[in-house]
Amino acid sequence: MSFFSAFGAGSGKTGEAGRVAVVTARDAARRLELLDDFEQAGIGWIWASDAEGRLIYISENAATQLDRPVGALLARSLVDLFEVDTANPGATSDRPLKFLLTAQKKMSDLVVRFIDGSKGRDQPGQIWWMLTGHPKFGADGKFLGYRGSARDVTLDYERKLADTLAAEYD
């Protein structure tokens, strides 16, 4: 049964005997299709790092948004690609990204700036993302890296900075 037939091809119909088909945790093809839909809708992207903080996965759409091929981002350290803006007025952390990754704790709504070959902090054209991630541990308790999501918050972040700056001069 395909994803669309399982969900009534978007018609809201139920399956046999009035039961609604459900995507199970073991249904890898459906999960991948849901993930693709999530990313195609522009809701966000998926990323993963290894224990050393290097990217081992990043969504194709995320790489496109950064104007880099996926291969140019993989195996790169997250701290070489992004930085936390300590001047962010609503920052969830003022700690450097390297510290946050090394702490092996959950990251939630962390605003970071893409810095790989980018322009200076005060120049136009910056890319700001909000990262959320959780540490991944193996069955033996060994830290394996992070698994997370990201979304572009550039417009919201620039608006927030402009409002903060305007408030300082009013």
23 sits in the region (left: phi over 0; alpha: psi -120 to 50; else beta) called: beta
pLDDT in tens, 32-52: 888 888 888 878 899 999 999
Task: Supply the pLDDT for residue 146.
Answer: 97
- Above 90 in pLDDT, residue 1? no
* DSSP-assigned letter for residue 92: S
Question: Which helix (DSSP H) or strand (DSSP E) does residue 37 occupy?
Answer: helix 28-40
- Above 50 in pLDDT, residue 12? no
Burial class of residue 128 in the structure, from the number of CB atoms within 10 Å of its CB (0-12 exposed, 13-18 middle, 19+ buried) = buried
Entry pTM: 0.73
Of residues 91 and 1, which shows the higher confidence score?
91
Per-residue pLDDT band for 4 (boundaries 50, 70, 90) equals very low
Q: Is 159 helix (H, G, I), strand (E, B) or coil?
A: helix
- Above 60 in pLDDT, residue 69? yes
3-state class percentages of the chain: helix first, strand second, coil last, to nearest 5: 35, 25, 40
Asked if 160 and 89 count as a contact pair (C-beta separation under 8 A), the reply is: yes
pLDDT in tens, 78-129: 999 999 876 665 556 668 889 989 999 999 999 999 997 655 555 567 899 9
Task: Supply the pLDDT for residue 7.
Answer: 43
Q: Which amino acid is at 163?
A: D
Q: Is 114 helix (H, G, I), strand (E, B) or coil?
A: strand
Q: Which amino acid is at 87?
A: A
Mean pLDDT of the chain: 81
- Distance of alpha carbon 66 from the chain centroid: 12
